[in-house]
Amino acid sequence: MNEFDIIKHYFAANAQHRADVVHGIGDDCAIVNVPPGQELAITTDTMVAGVHFLETALPDDIGHKILAVNLSDLAAMGATPAWVTLALTLPVVDQQWLQNFCAGFFTLATRFRVQLIGGDTTRGPLSITVQAMGFTPPQKALLRSQAKPSDLIYVTGQLGDAGLALASLRHQVQLSAEHETAVLERFNRPEPRVTMGEHLRDIASAAIDISDGLAADLGHILKQSQVGARLEVERLPLSAAMLESIPRQKAIELALTAGDDYELCFTIPAHLRTELEQTLAAIDCRYTQIGVITAQPGLEITEDGKKYHAPLEGYEHF
């Protein structure tokens, strides 16, 4: 199979067909129409073998995850995904690998009606780059810079599961079969919170997706908004796997500092709490208030009302 056969067989054949794509895969560029009155949100993320995923990672999971992390960035802006490009560097042409990669990638793409409109295919050490594009209504994108004192801080889903999975893959912790399956699913196949992001457009004051750990990513909101925050660790949403497999203190530290969760962290003005609950009532995604924004800069973490004492930066989890 040469480069063109690969593109035709695996990528062009599997691509969705959206009405706003004038020319997809096959020419020197893709040509698309941004819907009138919408703004274009653009993001890109790369995954390199041995750096962003383990050498043992399955191609199906890699295909899912590279798209999921890009859609997660769109979700964090409140954008609706539309198009993606895929730059794939492969050491060898392994058709089984390509087929499984495409299964993971296109299953997720289809769920969010995302069309693959172009890319690049080259030989070299395994590396995968996706660029994702989506739409937001004018001036409605969720920024990191607009959190205000007394805003409430929320996170979606549960925190720390991906970190626990990584510890398990590194044999640093022993999990029951059931918990292991659950956290590996969270680590390998994160769910981009796209619908959540869309519903937060008119409510949230700021948002970010959690790729590097809650403390670090909330830190970006605080810095760019020039505010501080008070977090209550007893409010952190933790899974059964976290609560039953490791000491509570370790679970809290993972929830605060472990990466790869791809949940959203967002803030809302306190008076919009009821509106938030009404807006999200029909959405199948857990969300939890974990603290408040303060005028005083810095991240203050409390446990049962007292200052929480634990080293957060450079902390060795196990």
Site for Mg ion in 177-236 (CB under 5 A): none
118: left (phi over 0), alpha (psi -120 to 50) or beta: left
Asked if 28 touches Mg ion (CB under 5 A), the answer is yes
Residue closest to Mg ion, measured at CB? 28
CA distance 49 to 160: 23
Q: How many residues bind Mg ion (CB under 5 A)?
A: 1
Place of tokens 């790869």: 260
CB nearer to Mg ion: pick between 49 and 87:
87
Q: Kindly state whether residue 86 participates in binding ligand ADP, applying the rule CB under 6 A.
A: yes
Which of residues 28 and 316 has its CB atom nearest to Mg ion in the complex? 28
When CB distances are held under 5 to 8 angstroms depending on the partner's kind, the choice from Mg ion, ligand ADP, none that residue 118 binds is ligand ADP
CB atoms within 10 A of CB 121: 18
| Residue (of 62, 308, 315, 78) closest to 195 by Cα position | 78
Task: Note whether 7 binds ligand ADP by CB under 6 A.
Answer: yes
Rounded to a whole number of angstroms, the minimum distance from the CB of residue 241 to ligand ADP is 35
| Unique residue bearing structure tokens 């720390």 | 160
Task: Enumerate long-range contacts of 179-183, CB under 8 Å, 24 or more apart.
Answer: 179/240, 179/241, 179/244, 179/245, 180/241, 182/239, 182/240, 182/241, 183/239, 183/241
Decide if residue 63 touches ligand ADP (CB under 6 A): no
At position 285, the amino acid (one-letter code) is C
If one asks whether residue 27 binds Mg ion (CB under 5 A), the answer comes out as no
* Residue 310 neighbours by CB distance under 10 Å: 14
Q: Based on CB atoms, which residue is closest to Mg ion, 23 or 113?
A: 23
We find the least distance from the C-beta atom of residue 42 to ligand ADP, in angstroms, to be 16
Complex with ligand ADP: residue 6 or 310, whichever CB lies closer:
6
Q: Is 11 in the site for ligand ADP (CB under 6 A)?
A: yes
User: From the CB of 15, what's the least distance to ligand ADP, in Å?
Assistant: 8
CA 237/CA 245 separation, integer angstroms: 15
Binding site for ligand ADP (CB under 6 A): 7, 11, 25-28, 86, 88, 116, 118-121
Q: Contact positions toward Mg ion, by CB under 5 A?
A: 28
